[in-house]
Structure 1
């Protein structure tokens, strides 16, 4: 099961902070999909995952203009 977090309309670092909070409630291996509209979010999430041990699964364009879905998997840390 994948949890979905709607962070559209928020500017970084808010989508990342909300994702961090959501990930902390999930078990290792669980997935979180974050819907974002901030153009800098993909780079921020990539760096965040590299530093925290969470896994960036994919970044997908959404049906809405300027929105993408970032799929993360919670690490063991």
Structure 2
């Protein structure tokens, strides 16, 4: 899937990956997609919860070699 913004939060621990996602998504328009790369185990819970709380669409996640890639559509 194509995305408009790539955010590398690998090496950061909770809550920093989600905080970085929130800050960087501020520049996106509604409907654009951000990809967050994270290796924090808590991100599996934090990212979908953040999306639900903020009105963004959680498009899913995919395991990658050095973490997980999360796709989020700005609400």
Question: TM-score with structure 1 length normalisation?
Answer: 0.90
2: CA distance, partners of 1:23 / 1:42: 18
Give the Å deviation of 1:63. 2.1
Q: Aligned match of 1:34 in 36, 42, 46?
A: 36
Give the Å deviation of 1:18. 0.6
2: CA distance, partners of 1:13 / 1:25: 20
Q: Which runs of 4+ in 1 moved over 6 A?
A: none
Give the Å deviation of 1:42. 1.5
1: CA distance, partners of 2:4 / 2:60: 13
Q: CA RMSD in A?
A: 0.9
Question: Which secondary structure state, in structure 1, belongs to the residue aligned with residue 47 of structure 2?
Answer: helix
Which runs of no fewer than 5 residues in structure 1 stay unpaired? none
Q: Residue 20 of structure 2 corresponds to which residue in structure 1?
A: 18
Deviations 1:9-60 (A, max 9, x none): 0001111001001111100000000000000102001111111100100110
Which runs of no fewer than 5 residues in structure 2 stay unpaired? none
- How many aligned positions are there? 73
